[in-house]
Amino acid sequence: MKNKVALITGITGQDGSYLAEFLLAKDYIVHGIIRRSSSFNTDRIDHLIADSKIMNNSLFLHYGDMTDGSRLVTLIKKIQPDEIYNLAAQSHVRVSFDEPEYTGDSVGIGTARLLEAVRIADVETRFYQASSSEMFGATPPPQSEETAFYPRSPYGAAKLYSYWMTRNYREAYGLFACNGILFNHESERRGETFVTRKIAIAAARIASGVQKDIYLGNLEAIRDWGYAPEYVEGMWMMLQHQKPDDYVLATNTGYTVRELAQFAFETVGLNYVDYVKKDERYVRPTEVDALIGDYSKAKRVLGWSPKTLTPELATKMVNFEMAKLKN
């Protein structure tokens, strides 16, 4: 049987790297779009690039950018993917307040460019859009596929545009297109400026005596933090179903940033109160107070459920940082 071909935008990101591993293990031919950079930006997939059995055999990388529509058309025509996973994004909510225009261009219009590239290239493909719980914003939890959207950041607003464009291409052109509305998911590969990884690194460094304290913004925000490798499987499950649809992936549990810090510092036998300091620079002009996802549709229709909950996730991430410091 012919191997399936997948195209991943954002393959160098946290989710892109896990998804590439997941699809390669399922015998997919994986193509990824990477950005030209003046420094190395492939650390999360370097182990795949270094493997000569994989690189340029089942994994192919192409330069491209979500702001370059003609390049997206060329790549889709050339690759003829069976499945496209659109994970590329300026994904930092705080940064989106500083760069609203670029965030809108890469996250919002970028998705329109990719959808239009599929239409122009006239390929038969399935399309996954990385939608976000940030789109719910100010609407109180629990949030499900039926909950009203109320984004509270340029990032949330740009993701909402992408969400609707994905639905529109499904309805207007019959494209097999799905929105995965994913709540926060984290891992040892999470970017270091997101709160879970920032706290995990700090707890390990403080316990090892190489850092004194950590500066954070709002400690009272509630998030639903799951484990990223479990969520990329959910993305794939959406594209294997007989019918395209939109799904929430979450854990249906909520913890404050304060509780997250407590779990992380407890892992190394410390009390977070002694080390966490406030810095107004990390407070957002508008905050999303509480996100807790109801994933019952994904469970019922796809058979997807999370396995790792926030306390275990925090411990896992801190233990990883401790092990790195010891090496």
**Applying CB under 6 A, what is the total number of residues that bind ligand NAP?**
26
48 within 8 A of 54, measured Cβ to Cβ: yes
Residue by residue, DSSP assigns 176-213 as EEEEEEEPPEE-TTS-TTSHHHHHHHHHHHHHTTS---
Work out which of 113, 152, 167, 223 binds ligand G4F, going by CB under 6 A: 223
Q: What is the CA radius of gyration of the chain?
A: 20
Two tokens, residue 151:
């984004």
Query: Does the active-site annotation cover 132?
Result: yes
Does 156 participate in binding ligand NAP (rule CB under 6 A)? no
Give the nearer residue to ligand G4F in terms of CB position, either 76 or 314. Answer: 314
- The catalytically annotated residue of 28, 91, 131, 134 is 134
Work out which of 17, 181, 198, 232 binds ligand G4F, going by CB under 6 A: 198
Does 290 participate in binding ligand G4F (rule CB under 6 A)? no
Binds 16: which of ligand G4F, ligand NAP, none (CB < 5-8 Å by kind): ligand NAP
5 φ, ψ (degrees, to nearest 5) = -115, 125
111 within 8 A of 118, measured Cβ to Cβ: no
Does 183 participate in binding ligand G4F (rule CB under 6 A)? yes
Work out which of 12, 106, 184, 252 binds ligand G4F, going by CB under 6 A: 184
Does 262 participate in binding ligand G4F (rule CB under 6 A)? no
Query: Does the active-site annotation cover 134?
Result: yes
Buried b or exposed e, range 199-214, using 16+ CB within 10 angstroms: bbbbbbbbbeeeeeeb
Residue by residue, DSSP assigns 48-89 as HHT-TTTBTTTEEEEE--TT-HHHHHHHHHHH--SEEEE---
Give the nearer residue to ligand G4F in terms of CB position, either 126 or 223. Answer: 223
Does 264 participate in binding ligand G4F (rule CB under 6 A)? no
Using CB under 6 A, which residues numbered 163 to 182 contact ligand NAP? Answer: 182
Does 276 participate in binding ligand NAP (rule CB under 6 A)? no
Query: Does the active-site annotation cover 155?
Result: yes
Range list of H helices, the chain: 14-25, 46-49, 69-79, 93-98, 100-103, 110-121, 154-173, 195-207, 228-240, 257-267, 296-297, 310-326
Does 58 participate in binding ligand G4F (rule CB under 6 A)? no
Q: Which residues are catalytic?
A: 132, 134, 155
Residues in touch with ligand NAP (CB under 6 A): 9-10, 12-16, 33, 35, 37, 41, 65-67, 87-91, 106, 130, 132, 182, 184-185, 191
